[in-house]
Structure 1
Amino acid sequence: MPDTADQAARVDDVHRLALAMPHVTVDHAAGGNPVYQVGGKSFIFFRNPRPDAVDPVTGERYDDVIVFWVGSEADKQALIQDDASPFFTTGHFDGHPSVLLRACHVGELTRTELSEIVQDAWLSRASKRRATAWLAAHPPAR
């Protein structure tokens, strides 16, 4: 079977990877959008269109924004300040430990990169006990 880690990620991969993390539940927000949670805390959710994320040319609200929690403000800044990164933020999320990604731009990430983002989102919201257990079972590659 060919290695798919470096293939372009897809929106289906967001769902698959989020559900693969332990102790995950899925709630549904208004409009039926999935909200992935660990211990009752959201770590990834699919937003409804909001006035703070709009196409700069047409003014149309983006209808495909995915929110990923991050571990720190430094992590957030590293993702949104990298010109090669598809992640962004809006004023609504100032001071909030999360980054935004349009679903139409998920393919700008590899499956490996997306996996790391999902795992980091989960780790940022999981209890210390759960995070420690998961990290012990999944040591970082050297």
Structure 2
Amino acid sequence: MADQEDVRKIALELPEVREAEDRFAFSVDRRGFAWGWLERPDPKKKRVTNPEVLVVRVADEGEKQSLLAADPAKFFTEPHYANYPAILVRLPAITPAELRELLTDAWRLQAPKSVITAFDQA
């Protein structure tokens, strides 16, 4: 079972990652790779952060569909993310090891090649 503290710890261990000051979000070189899901519990009210769900960037629609099919208890999407390369992750349903893999893969999609090379060599 993972939570936001696990997300923060894992994300900030990756090179050149910054946490947003105004929301729960992580980026490298100004490109976001993981952020808190803003849920709209009531159609007439504004969105609010759901601390049990994380949005994580994926490579493409194929990877997104593969994750959705692999384990709907862990992964889902919503119309807001239609045709966007990101998956919604239920944090209580995944292990910290699974979270580390998801975050590292998402980071690799956004990090500069030189940073990835240095990370892989370390």
Task: Give the share of equivalent positions with the same residue, in percent.
Answer: 33
CA deviation after TM superposition for structure 1 residue 63, in Å: 3.8
Q: Is the 8 A contact 1:27 1:34 kept in 2?
A: yes
Q: Unpaired runs of 5+ in structure 2? A: none
1:84-136 superposed Cα distances (whole Å, 9 cap, x missing partner): 541111122122111112xxx31211111111011011111111222222233
Within 2, Cα distance between the matches of 1:97 and 1:134? 24
What SS does the aligned partner of 1:96 have?
coil
Instruction: Please identify the structure whose Cα radius of gyration is greater.
Output: 1
Instruction: Report matched runs for 1:59-98 at 5 Å.
Output: 63-64=49-50, 65-83=53-71, 85-98=73-86
Within 1, Cα distance between the matches of 2:35 and 2:106? 11
| TM-score, with length taken from structure 2 | 0.81
Q: Which has the higher strand share?
A: 2
Where do 4+ consecutive residues of structure 1 move more than 6 Å? Answer: none
Q: Unpaired runs of 5+ in structure 1? A: 1-7, 56-60, 138-142
Paired residues, number: 116
